[in-house]
Amino acid sequence: MWYNDYISNLTRDVPKDDGFPGKTTERTVGMTEIHAPKPVCDALRLLHQNGFSAYAVGGCVRDSLLGLSPEDWDLTTSARPEETERVFADFRVVETGLRHGTVTVLAEGLPLEITTYRIDGAYADMRRPEQVTFSTELREDLARRDFTVNTLCWSEETGVLDLFEGLNDLRDGVLRTVGNADKRFSEDALRILRCIRFASTLGFQIEDATSDSLLFNRFRLQSISAERIRAEFTKLLCGKHASKVLEKYRSVVEVFIPELSALVGCAQNTPYHCYDVLGHTLCALDHIEPTEILRLCMFFHDFGKPICRRTDENGRDHFKGHGAVSVGIAEAVLKRLRYDHKTVEEVTTLVRIHDTKAPRSKAEAKRLLAQIGVAHYRALVKIKRADTRAKADPHALDERLERMEALLEEILQNGECYSISMLAINGNDLQAAGVPYGQTVRAGLEGLLDAVIDGRCPNEKDALLRFLQKNLM
């Protein structure tokens, strides 16, 4: 992921001569590595032209150096908020956080958060400092930040500035706090979760002292709002390295999802399984695409197994009804973490159907489509494939799932009827034919759909009416 071979050729030591007190050298990377959007470059240039120092900072620089596309661009500057507003008088400016030195400038449709260099006071609520002191020194501002890889700065004039060995850690794939880890995590406990989120999304190792500290301080997360926890946990779960991080830092996640602990050591003594429930869950996560809904489904799909586990006289485990119990647990946790109603509904629906058998015939596929719809049918294929990949025989269902997919595509391509709404007849037609209004109409439509799916009647209005008169009235 990191270009180890030529990074050394792009870095060089430059002498201390640019106003950063106490700095001996800086490692500067050529600006060709950073491809900032034009509004970012224009904003930096405008601040410089007005006599202020300014840089892109943090995640946007880190991600650019990693070859990733930054989600947003944050700028840091020696200009105070009122000075920043004067510089950008011709732009739309939103006073998003004047107390903490931040204004948002909308430049060609791109929101740029521009924050004054600052020194943070005490963090009474483990979220934000009670007061800040504005500074003219970049080093003082960077010293308050969370991880060294997030202290990297960039401008067109200087290239990348590295005052805290962030480039070394970026090159080595290491997450390390800026300064004392206990202090950083006590200031804002969410940094604990952010740290393992970065490990999941970037594939970085957490430096030993930082790792020890986040584990020691993990209970500080209890003071963080559910909304902030949810946002970081979702990103963690969708990371490429989520399973490894969850395995190593499970105790951190258990602070806000204590239900997870029951999965540890819950054996699955069946011919189909080779892991305990936690191991199976983590392996399944590795085999599902990294979307919020699918990852949440695979995370929760077997949470009910420890409760439902029963061992028979032959020592074989059974988990009857675990799907429904998993739905209840998933719903409770998701609501506790303030996930929106649509997400809760989608995830619990998929957890509920995750153990549904793959259809073997077109009629079975149509009936399943009638129950769950096309989107959930497609998702179910992915879920069952991931679930099977985490079992003793990871390819046991390959042919059946391929058949399941093929049946869907054939049904859709041919426009074949699989739901009441696709029938060539409706409730009004049934009432006109003498079927009483109400549940009887619904039963009649369902009977006609069954006949069409089974091939006993073509999906044609006249044929359906004849079938209705002969068989259902």
167: number of Cβ within 10 Å? 23
What is the identity of the amino acid at 359?
Answer: P
Distance CA 168, CA 364 (A): 57
β-pairing, 110-116 vs 102-107, is antiparallel
β-pairing, 110-116 vs 73-77, is parallel
> Collapsing DSSP states into helix, strand and coil, what is residue 276?
coil
Mind listing the pLDDT tens digit for each residue in 408-423? 999 999 999 999 999 9
Least confident of 25-39, 165-179, 210-224: 25-39
pLDDT band at 125, cuts 50/70/90? low
Whether residue 349 contacts residue 330, with contact meaning beta carbons closer than 8 Å, is answered with no
Query: Looking at residue 101, what is its pLDDT?
Result: 85
Query: Looking at residue 124, what is its pLDDT?
Result: 62
**Residue 396 backbone dihedrals phi, psi, to 5 degrees:** -60, -35
- Stretch 395-400: mean pLDDT, rounded? 94
Query: Looking at residue 398, what is its pLDDT?
Result: 95
Whether residue 148 contacts residue 139, with contact meaning beta carbons closer than 8 Å, is answered with no
Give the residue with greater pLDDT, 23 vs 307: 307
Mind listing the pLDDT tens digit for each residue in 336-355? 999 999 999 999 999 999 99
308: number of Cβ within 10 Å? 17
Measuring CA to CA, which residue among 317, 318, 308, 300 is closest to residue 253?
300
Distance between start and end Cα atoms, the chain: 68
pLDDT band at 127, cuts 50/70/90? low
DSSP 214-231: HHHTGGGGGGS-HHHHHH
Tell me, rounded to whole angstroms, the distance of Cα 256 from its chain centroid: 17
Measuring CA to CA, which residue among 286, 192, 275 is closest to residue 237?
286
Provide the sign of the torsion angle of the four alpha carbons 119, 117, 204, 300, taken in this order: positive
Give the residue with greater pLDDT, 351 vs 95: 351
Give the residue with greater pLDDT, 429 vs 4: 429
pLDDT band at 437, cuts 50/70/90? confident
> Collapsing DSSP states into helix, strand and coil, what is residue 95?
strand
Query: Looking at residue 122, what is its pLDDT?
Result: 63
Q: Is the pLDDT of residue 54 over 90?
A: yes
pLDDT band at 97, cuts 50/70/90? confident
Q: Is the pLDDT of residue 154 over 50?
A: yes
**Residue 287 backbone dihedrals phi, psi, to 5 degrees:** -110, 15
Whether residue 104 contacts residue 96, with contact meaning beta carbons closer than 8 Å, is answered with yes
Measured CA distances, 319 to 262, 270, 352, 388, 461 (Å): 14, 10, 14, 16, 46
Q: Is the pLDDT of residue 27 over 90?
A: no
**Alpha helices, DSSP H only, in 108-155?**
138-142
Distance CA 294, CA 150 (A): 30
- Stretch 140-146: mean pLDDT, rounded? 94
Query: Looking at residue 472, what is its pLDDT?
Result: 75
Distance CA 405, CA 401 (A): 6
Whether residue 36 contacts residue 64, with contact meaning beta carbons closer than 8 Å, is answered with yes
pLDDT band at 177, cuts 50/70/90? very high
Tell me 159's DSSP state: E
Q: In the structure encoding, which two tokens stand for residue 345, read together? A: 């509904």
Report which secondary-structure segment, H or E, holds 317.
strand 317-318
Query: Looking at residue 440, what is its pLDDT?
Result: 84
Query: Looking at residue 131, what is its pLDDT?
Result: 73
pLDDT band at 123, cuts 50/70/90? low
What is the identity of the amino acid at 414?
Answer: N
Q: Is the pLDDT of residue 307 over 60?
A: yes
Mean per-residue pLDDT over the chain, rounded = 89
Query: What CATH number should be reported for the domain whose range is 4-172?
Result: 3.30.460.10
Q: What is the pTM of this model?
A: 0.88
Distance CA 332, CA 370 (A): 28
- Stretch 111-130: mean pLDDT, rounded? 76
Mind listing the pLDDT tens digit for each residue in 238-270? 999 999 999 999 999 999 999 999 999 999 999
Query: What CATH number should be reported for the domain whose range is 176-256?
Result: 1.10.110.30
- Residue the block writes with tokens 């640019």: 18
> For every residue of 5-73, which 3-state class applies, written as one string?
HHHHHHCCEECCCCCCCCCCCEECECHHHCCCCHHHHHHHHHHHHCCCCEEEECHHHHHHHCCCCCCCE
Query: Looking at residue 424, what is its pLDDT?
Result: 94
Distance CA 302, CA 449 (A): 34
Q: Is the pLDDT of residue 20 over 70?
A: no
Distance CA 250, CA 243 (A): 10
pLDDT band at 1, cuts 50/70/90? very low
pLDDT band at 126, cuts 50/70/90? low
Name the β-bridge partners of 14. Answer: 26
Q: Is the pLDDT of residue 11 over 50?
A: no
